[in-house]
Structure 1
Amino acid sequence: MVRLGAELISRAPQYLNAVKDREIDLRGNKIAAIENLGVTADQYDSIDLSDNEIVKLDGFPELRRLSTLLISNNRISRISSSLGEFLPKLHTLVLTNNRLGNLAELDPLASLVKLHTLSLLENVVTKLPEYRLYVIHKLPNLRLLDFSKVKAKEKIAAKARFASQEAEENAKKGGAEQTFVPGEVPAAVEPASDAKHQHLSRTALKAAIQNAQTLAEVARLERALATGQYNGSGDAMEEG
């Protein structure tokens, strides 16, 4: 395994590629992890990290210029959830022949809001049912998936298949929102609220007993505490 350091980056080939983007070639170096790319000073439109030993797609500094990332033939099985924060303009990502195995592992790609071209060919995940619709749903700006154009009917199908399911999952995570009618107290809430209120009132009464100025006042407050005859503020109720 080789560390991606400043020396390796400085001697890597750099050129204008076929689409006239400035690219740095870091292919085939047995790199194990993405690191130290800050030394590039964000000078590249494209970075080629193909044919290495990378296991996780993370470790990027903020690269606001980077638009294309080629990272085929690695061992990637995890993707950072903050990828889009550091690569805000990335529009092309080639992850061909990696080790992504389930749909949930692809969710972090949704943070790449500019992404329009994605290849996941030769990953196990592509063999799963509804893989293509799932990716299209997660990446609404996608135009090309696995070098096949995303069709309008696929977008419609993806929304129909996954939008309601996602809404249900979000509701389960956050809890169903309750609708309150003015003047109406839900039955499930009222007992708990009363119990808390009573506890606070008893606490106030005990404090009042400690601060009482006369024996008569102490006696009255203690009697109220014992019988529960006190108002909402914790004061003893006047006897009739």
Structure 2
Amino acid sequence: MGKYLSLSSNHSSNKRSLEGLKTFSYLEELILDNNLLGNDLLLPRLPHLHTLMLNKNQITELESLLDHLAEVVPSLQYLSLLGNMACPNELVCKEKDEDDYQRYRYFVLHKLTNLKFLDTRKVTRREREEALVRGAFMKVVKPKASNDAASTSPEMHYTPLPSGSRDLTNHRGILGKCRYIYYGKHSEGNRFIRDDQL
């Protein structure tokens, strides 16, 4: 039974299914680079798999992928996700830098504690210690699109002015009476200034 399988650049117009891999239960190395695989990637349980290459795919959701890998490939030690949006680096996105990539490494190592290599770099002892302490907090959070904002009318914006002053053709000022008079002697800015400093 083979222990190494490469399915790189195996593009297919139909649904890309990896269900057939379950017949390779003793598989140790799997290369799935450049296959247009996305967030719906589902691997069968491969208990002996220690090396997985998923470079240059279309994976954007990191946490769900890591949770899935932790469940189905418990012996994983070598993982590479370069070329995916889920792996933040300057090759994929100009806005990302080395700090973004390092936070990504801490989060991956927090989820997959047995990794020895991540992408092209060996996992250091310091990274592993950092991942234990801070890895859970390195998750990239994306804002969700709010349906409430879409349901409100675009013409209705908040304004502190009374409704009578909202008419654009009506340019008169509004006068009001205020009960409080501000002299400034008790303001924060004046509290520490003495008269001789003025």
- 1:161 Cα deviation from its structure 2 partner: 1.5
> What's the counterpart of residue 46 of structure 1?
4
Structure 1: give runs of 5+ residues left out of the alignment.
1-42, 167-240
Change beyond 3 A, Cα 1:160–1:95: same
Report Cα offsets for 1:72-99 as digits up to 9, x if no partner.
011111332x63x2x1100000111001
Change beyond 3 A, Cα 1:56–1:135: farther
Pick from 29, 34, 44 the counterpart of residue 68 of structure 1: 29
Tell me, in whole angstroms, the C-alpha distance in 2 between the residues paired with 1:53 and 1:70. Answer: 14
Tell me, in whole angstroms, the C-alpha distance in 2 between the residues paired with 1:151 and 1:143. Answer: 8
TM-score for the superposition, normalised by structure 1: 0.46
- 1:165 Cα deviation from its structure 2 partner: 9.3
Tell me, in whole angstroms, the C-alpha distance in 1 between the residues paired with 2:123 and 2:63. Answer: 20
Pick from 49, 52, 55 the counterpart of residue 93 of structure 1: 52
Q: 2:97 aligned with 1:139, yes or no?
A: no
> What's the counterpart of residue 79 of structure 1?
41
CA contact (8 A) 1:56 1:76 kept: yes
Tell me, in whole angstroms, the C-alpha distance in 2 between the residues paired with 1:165 and 1:48. Answer: 32
Tell me, in whole angstroms, the C-alpha distance in 1 between the residues paired with 2:27 and 2:138. Answer: 34
Tell me, in whole angstroms, the C-alpha distance in 2 between the residues paired with 1:71 and 1:164. Answer: 29
Q: How many residues get paired? A: 121
Tell me, in whole angstroms, the C-alpha distance in 2 between the residues paired with 1:146 and 1:137. Answer: 15
Greater share of helix: 1
Tell me, in whole angstroms, the C-alpha distance in 2 between the residues paired with 1:149 and 1:155. Answer: 11
Change beyond 3 A, Cα 1:79–1:88: same
- 1:58 Cα deviation from its structure 2 partner: 3.5
Pick from 70, 90, 108 the counterpart of residue 110 of structure 1: 70
Pick from 52, 77, 82 the counterpart of residue 121 of structure 1: 82
- 1:102 Cα deviation from its structure 2 partner: 2.3
Amino acid at match of 1:97: K
Q: Which has the larger radius of gyration?
A: 1
Change beyond 3 A, Cα 1:150–1:160: same
CA contact (8 A) 2:55 2:81 kept: yes
SS at match of 2:87: helix
CA contact (8 A) 1:79 1:105 kept: no
CA contact (8 A) 1:79 1:108 kept: no
Report Cα offsets for 1:4-39 as digits up to 9, x if no partner.
xxxxxxxxxxxxxxxxxxxxxxxxxxxxxxxxxxxx
The percentage of aligned residue pairs carrying the same residue is 35
Amino acid at match of 1:146: D
CA contact (8 A) 1:69 1:93 kept: yes
Tell me, in whole angstroms, the C-alpha distance in 2 between the residues paired with 1:157 and 1:57. Answer: 36
Amino acid at match of 1:89: H
Amino acid at match of 2:129: I
Change beyond 3 A, Cα 1:162–1:44: same
Q: CA RMSD in A?
A: 2.4
